[in-house]
Every structure is written in C-alpha cells, then in structure tokens.
Structure 1
Amino acid sequence: MKKLIILIGLLFLVFGSSTCTKPPDNSAEISSPTTPKQSSSLATSLTSISSPSQQRKRQRVGHGLGMRRWERGTAIILKDKEKASFALTTYVATFQKIQETLPALGKVMAHPLRQAIVSYPFSARIAAIHVSQGDWVKKGDPLVTLYSQTVGEARSAYYKAIADYELAKVNYEREKNLFDKGVGAKKNLLAAEAQLKVAQSNLEEAEKKLHVLGFNEKQVKEMAQSHQISPSITLFAPISGKIATSQAILGAMVSESTEIMTILDPRLLCIDAEVFEKDIAKIRLGQEVKVTVPAYPNKIFKGKIAYISDFLNEETRTIKVRTAIPNPDYLLKPGMLANIEIILNHQEKALVVPKEAILDEGNEHIVFVEKNGKYFPRVIKTGFQHNGLVQITDGLKAGEKVVVNGNFALKSKLYEDILEKEHVH
C-alpha cells in the first residue's frame, strides 16, 4: 500500500512539470484580435514614446485647450468662388486723432442747487394764487398768498411789542430828564431803564418770529408803519426758474408737510452715472463729458464732472459720478436715461482699425491682414476705442490692410484647412 502511494506521487510530479514548462503559443497571440482596451493602451504607449519634437509640433498645431492652432506666417489662399462668396472688404490701418473715453450709463437729474420746494411751516389756507404750473418766475416773484391764524397772532404780538417799547422809551426819557434837573430819584431812572430794555427785547423777539413765519426785512418795516393786523402772508419765489409742479388750489388747507409748489431751473441739470471700481483712477473733477440721450441720438451735449462720490457701492462695485450739464434749449428732461463718455485725454494720434475687424481668439485678439492676395491671421494688442475705431498698440503697422467684412468666414476657412492637415498627418 505504501509503495502504491509513492508511485502515484512520482507520476503526479512528472506530468505536472511537463505542463508548467510548456512554451507559449506566440502565433495565437499575434493573430488574436485587439480589444478596444488593448488598442487604447497601445495608443497611449505610442504617445508616451513619441519624440520631443513630435510633441512640440502637436502643441504648435493647437492640441492644448485655449491655444492658437496656427503659427505666425500661416496664409489663407482663396479661390475666386470663395472670394466672391465671402464678400471681403478691407481697411487700411492709419494714424488718426482720436480721444480715449470712458463710457457709462446715467440718468438726467435736477441740479440740487437749481430746484426749490415752496411750502409753509404752519397750518394755513390758500387765499390767492399768483402763478400757474409751467410759468417762469424770477427770484422774489409772488407765488401764493395764505391766511394763517399763527400769522395774525404774530402780527398782533409785534404791534403790542412796538407799543410797549415806545411807551418804555418815553418813560425812560422823562425820568432821565427829571434826574438830570435834580428833581427825580435815581431808582425811578433805573426802573425806567430796565423797563426799556425788557420792551426792546420783547420787540426783537416778536420781529424774529415774523421772520420765522416767512416775512422779510422789508415786509416787517412796512408792517411797522401800517399797523394793519392781517392773517395773510405771501410766499415768494426763492430761486429763478420754472414752476415744475403745483398743488395750489384756491381755498385749500395746507400743512407743514404740504409741498405747495416746486420750482426747477432747467437751464442747468446734472447726470448721475455709475463708474466701475477699476476705472476710478481715470476720473477727476473738471473732466469734459459728452452726453447723448435716446430722444436726440444725433445731438451731443457737453458738460463737466462736478462731483465724485466718496463712497463705493459694495454690491455693484461702482462709484457715483455727477456731471453738470448746461441745457440752454431745454431739451434734456429730468428722468431721461443718458449715455455719457468721459474724455480721458484730448485728441492724440493713434494707429486704429474698425472694431469689426477684430476677432477674439481665446485670450487674444486677431485680425486678418491681406497681402498679395493672401490673408494672414495676426495677433494684435488693443488700447482704447472711440466712435467705432480701436487703437492698435502692437502687432500691426500703418498701411497694412485688415479685413473688415468676411473675417468670420476667413477664420472658419483657417480652421477648416488646419483640420484637413491634421487629418492627413
């Protein structure tokens, strides 16, 4: 039994060794089809062993995201049919005098120093109306006459203060005359003098109250001579301008919160605009501003920056800039939307092309330059723009022709040629 077990073990070792040492069938491995996974691995291996020059070539062609897929000197050659279908037009880059401007959107406002609200600080009734809405008035013109119980009481107190002062003055002069002759007592003179001072103080207080109620110095003097107790008071125009609004109705009651009239001088308005934080350093007081409004698109209004806010709007990251603008023809109206252009410099010579000639290429700007019937893409750097022209700071020379119309078709043609070359390779 023991011998049988040993014999079986030897047979197992012999056959097992022959199986493990069997050579692989290379022909079967070569002829077997390659799976997609194996193909991907193979492509990866081939890419990894490519030479550095081949890798740089692929990068130049533009396999990297956001990179240009063409080199400087690449030319586009069009057939006659393509030229006709593209409808190409060119513009010669030239030096011109243009202004650098900063555009912004604003709103026409009434000038804060050229408007006034006519109201009255006490309860009153409208007794007479001297102007209507839309009328032009000068400073000091009568606007409306009011009846007020407070005015009547103040007038009465003023007349009483005048009478008390005149009586105290006569009494003081009499006591002083007696004292000077040696027949009057000094204490009587001192008492008369004190009464005079009190009466004078009461008169000044009554006069100041009349000023508070709206009476001017001339009216108070006339009142002192007439001695007429009347509850009426006339309100006068505080500024020259136009009656913009009026709530005056004959016989209506007004209170201290009632805006009876609003006067606006439209000959000088202002425009409030918001300028972005990044442009704050470019603006300053006194800079010239050009303004256009939708109502008069072909007319340019001119003004100057009169105010720059000290506070930045944290939500919009903008700062308020106010432009004072003359309005002699009264064309501008408060509430209008306005496009402003802040002039950052006076006219200077700059190499310019139309903005339509410039295309975006990733993070760069390009134009197509026409030379000897060929079209070359060219990377450029731009500066400011004005009236549809853009300053070229690098990448272009004066006299070179750039494509204005049909440049999008040229760009498509450029990438079509690149794709065909990549497919061939």
Structure 2
Amino acid sequence: MKRIYILLFSLALASCGKSEKNTETAIEQVTSNNTITITQSQFESEKMELGTLSEQSFNETIKTNGFIDVPPQNRASVSTFLGGYVKRTPLLIGDKVKKGQLVVILENTEFVEVQQEYLEVTEQLNYLKTEFERQQTLYNEKITSQKNFLKAESTYKSSLAQYNGLRKKLKMMNINPTSVEQGNISSTINIYTPIQGYVTKVNVSNGTYVSPSETIIEIVNTDHIHLELTVFEKDILKIKKGQVIHFKIPEASNKVYKAEVHLVGTSVNEKDRTVKVHGHLEDDEKTNFVTGMFAEAEIISSTKKTLALPKEAITEVDGDYFVLVLKNKNEGVYTFDTLKLEVGKQSEEFVEVTNISDLKGKEILTKGGFMLLN
C-alpha cells in the first residue's frame, strides 16, 4: 500500500514539473516572436475591447498665471476731503453695504468754521447784491460815476464766487447748505459709500485722526469678477480676443473653471517683459471667488485634429509606448502583435499617434492591453 502512495506522489510531482516547463517555454516563445495569444473566454472575462485610430482634437496651450480681480469701477477707497477725528464707524471687514450707506462719522472744529464762513458770506451777499443793483441803476441814469459802479460790481461778484465755492464745499462734506442757512451748524460730517459691495479693509477706529490723503475703508463689488493674467512677451502674439481659458485656484481646489479672453494688453512691462490679459469668467454669478486669489491658467491658442488612441490602449515601458495590434482571430483564439508607438500631444483621454501608417486599417486592443503587456 505504501508503494502505491509513493508512486502516485511521484507521478504528481512529475506532472507539475512538466506543466511549469511548458509554461516557461510558452512565455519564451511569446517574447521571441513579439506576439501574445489569448482565448475567447479570456477576452470576454477580462472585458477586453477592440478599436481603431480615431480623429481627436488637441489644443495648443499657453500656460500662465494671475489672480482674481474686479474692474476699477467696482472698487472704492473711501476717504475724506477734510481731516477729522473718527466719532463712529459701524462697519467691519466682510460687511455687505449698499450704495449711499453710512461708512464713518468724523468730527472737527474746522467743519464748524466752514459753516460759519458760509453764513457770513450769505448775509453779506444780500447787501452787496442790493448795492450792486442800486449802483447799476444810478450809473444807467448817469447819476453816479463808472468807478463806483465797477467797484460795487466787483465786490458783489467776488462775494458771489466765494458763496458758490463754500456752498459746493458744504455739499462735498455732505452738509446741506439750506440747513446751515437756517442756523443749524454741526461739528460732524457723515461719509457714505459710493458703491455697493463688501468691506475689504477698515483702516480706522474710534478716535483716530483721518487726514484727507488716507483711505478710511475699502469696498469691493464682486458682481463682476474677472481674471487678470500675466503672459510673457514671447507668447502674446498667439493670444486673441475670444480664446478659451481654463483655470483653477490651486490653493482652494483642483476644479477647473472656464473663462474667455476679453482684452489683451497693448504694452510690455519693462521689468519682467510681460503683458496683461483680461479674461471674463463663465457663469461668474455662480462662483464665490475672493478678489486676490492666485490662479493658474491655460489659454487655448489653437486646436488641431489628428488621429489618436485612448490612453487606456497604450502601455508605457521604460519611456517607450506600446500597443497590441490584432494579427488574426482563428477558432476563438486572438493573436496580437506588440507594436511600438511614436506619440505626440496628449489630452486627458487620448494620445496623438505620429506613426499612423503602421496602424491604418488595423484593429487595436483598446481595453485590457496593460495587463497583457505587463
């Protein structure tokens, strides 16, 4: 009985050794002949697919970068015509404001002096006007001299100019001249926002003295944001209005957004030899970008159509690219030749093939080749 078990064990070992030897021989043969053979069941179980060269579009792109910005008319730096101390500022960074909303209240004795001067000139003007009209009548009737008439005329018109100037100054200070004429003198002035938007900077606090050259608050209206890109001089002649821009905000997400070239700068920055390109965003109302965000962009300067293969059909080995070309199909057996490719441009899904003549009219394994070639 023991002899029978030993015999069976020996036969099993011999069978395994023969099988391994046959497998090694088959692999050596595949390598030497540069062909791979699979069965119909293997083809179907691995969900392999055959295909041919297809015409695809490849873009010529110019890589650049820039930032999210708004037009000049959508940005306002609020300041004052006359210096003063901040009495109250109700806004914080991020607050949404409407056009004409109160930004800050300033207080200064100089505001009182302007109103007093206006009142004095207003009172004098009534008398000077009356005197001018009287002298004009007397002069016309040749009762008074021309010298007296001209003097009255000069004094009146000089005071009138001063009156109009002070009146305009009060309006710029947001003080109603009519109210001042009624005796209402205020030591404070109100400053309002000229646009609607969001507060991006607040440079003051209660008690701070603000001079006319200082920015009190900055407001940005993000209803129309755009891309402000910087393109090198060597690429600028390739860029035209209407070209498509693909961009992303690398610090925020990997999502790719779309824009369009709207304006191309007409001067070169002497320091870095670059030109500004202005792009309009697609569906900018649906985005929530913040001005100043850094953007990486590609401008599509041209598009060409050429024959290509799906990336899934191509396997890269040591820097070379290969595909499996169907040699023949006979009795449920597929035989493929391994062909080296010469490739050109690449997109997200396709690779341009430059040695087209080697693949024209031939079927190619477009799915499952990676497993076989590796």
User: TM-score if structure 1 supplies the norm length?
Assistant: 0.62
Residue equivalent to 2:326: 371
Aligned 8 A contact 2:244 2:258 in 1:
no
**Cα 1:255/1:180, change in 2 over 3 Å:** closer
Cα distance in 1 between the residues matched to 2:55 and 2:262:
27
Which of residues 311, 316, 340 in structure 1 aligns to 2:268?
311
Residue 299 of structure 2 is aligned to residue 342 of structure 1: yes
User: 1:152 aligned to 2:115?
Assistant: no
Quick check: 2:230–2:274 contact (8 Å CA) kept in 1?
yes
List aligned pairs for 1:322-337, cutoff 5 A. 322-325=278-281, 327-337=284-294
Q: 1:263 offset after TM fit, Å?
A: 0.5
Q: Deviation at 1:101?
A: 5.4
**Partner Cα separation in structure 1 for residue 178 and residue 241 of structure 2:** 47
Identity %: 24
Shift in CA distance, 179/143, structure 1 to aligned 2, threshold 3 Å? same
Aligned to 2:163, which of 168, 185, 203?
203
Residue 329 of structure 1: how far off its partner (Å): 3.6
Does the Cα contact within 8 Å between 1:89 and 1:405 map onto a contact in 2?
Answer: yes
Moved more, 134-143 or 274-283: 274-283
Q: How far does residue 144 in structure 1 lie from its aligned partner after superposition? A: 1.3
User: Which of 186, 198, 211 pairs up with 1:255?
Assistant: 211
Distance of 1:134 and 1:308 partners within structure 2: 32
Q: Distance in 2 between matches of 1:192 and 1:165?
A: 12
Tell me the amino acid that sits aligned with residue 311 of structure 1.
Answer: V
Q: What letter is aligned with 1:193?
A: E
Q: Report if the CA contact (8 A) 1:75-1:376 is conserved.
A: no
> Is 1:302–2:259 an aligned residue pair?
yes
Q: Deviations over 1:285-334 (max 9, x none)?
A: 3433233334343463434443436225776x654433233632452123
Residue 264 (structure 1) aligned with residue 183 (structure 2): no
**Structure 1 stretches of 5 or more lacking a match?**
1-73, 414-425
1:161-200 aligned within 5 A: 161-200=121-160
**Unpaired segments ≥5 residues, structure 2:** 1-31, 328-335
Bigger Rg, structure 1 or 2: 1
Alignment of 1:8-407 (within 5 A): 76-78=34-36, 92-95=51-54, 98=57, 100=59, 102=61, 104-113=63-72, 114-207=74-167, 209-210=169-170, 214-215=172-173, 219=175, 221-223=177-179, 225-256=181-212, 258-294=214-250, 295-298=252-255, 300-308=257-265, 310-311=267-268, 319-325=275-281, 327-344=284-301, 350-354=306-310, 357=314, 367-372=322-327, 373-380=336-343, 382-383=344-345, 385-392=346-353, 395=356, 397=360, 400-401=363-364
Q: C-alpha separation between the residues in 2 aligned to 1:279 and 1:92?
A: 38
Give distance in 1, aligned partners of 2:237 and 2:318. Answer: 29
Separation of aligned partners in 2, 1:403 and 1:97: 15
Task: Determine the C-alpha separation between the residues in 1 that align with 2:271 and 2:372.
Answer: 43
Post-superposition offset of 1:94: 4.6
Q: CA deviation at 1:105?
A: 4.8
| Counterparts of 1:310 and 1:408, CA distance in 2 | 54
Kindly provide the amino acid, as one letter, of the partner of residue 332 in structure 1. F
Cα pair 2:248 2:295 within 8 Å, conserved: yes
Q: Which runs of 4+ in 1 moved over 6 A?
A: 87-91, 402-409
SS state at 2:157 partner: helix
TM-score, length-scaled by structure 2: 0.69
Corresponding residue SS for 1:170: helix
Name the Cα RMSD after superposition: 4.0
Contact 2:56 2:308 in 1 (8 A): no
SS in 2 for 1:163: helix
Q: Indicate if the aligned counterparts of 2:64 and 2:230 stay in contact, CA closer than 8 A.
A: yes
Q: State the secondary structure of the residue aligned to 1:328.
A: helix
Q: What SS class does the counterpart of residue 215 from structure 2 fall into?
A: coil
CA-to-aligned-CA distance 1:380-405 (integer Å, 9 cap, x gap): 4x35x443434446625476526788
CA distance in 2 between counterparts of 1:181 and 1:312 reads: 71
Deviation at 1:90, TM superposition (A): 7.3
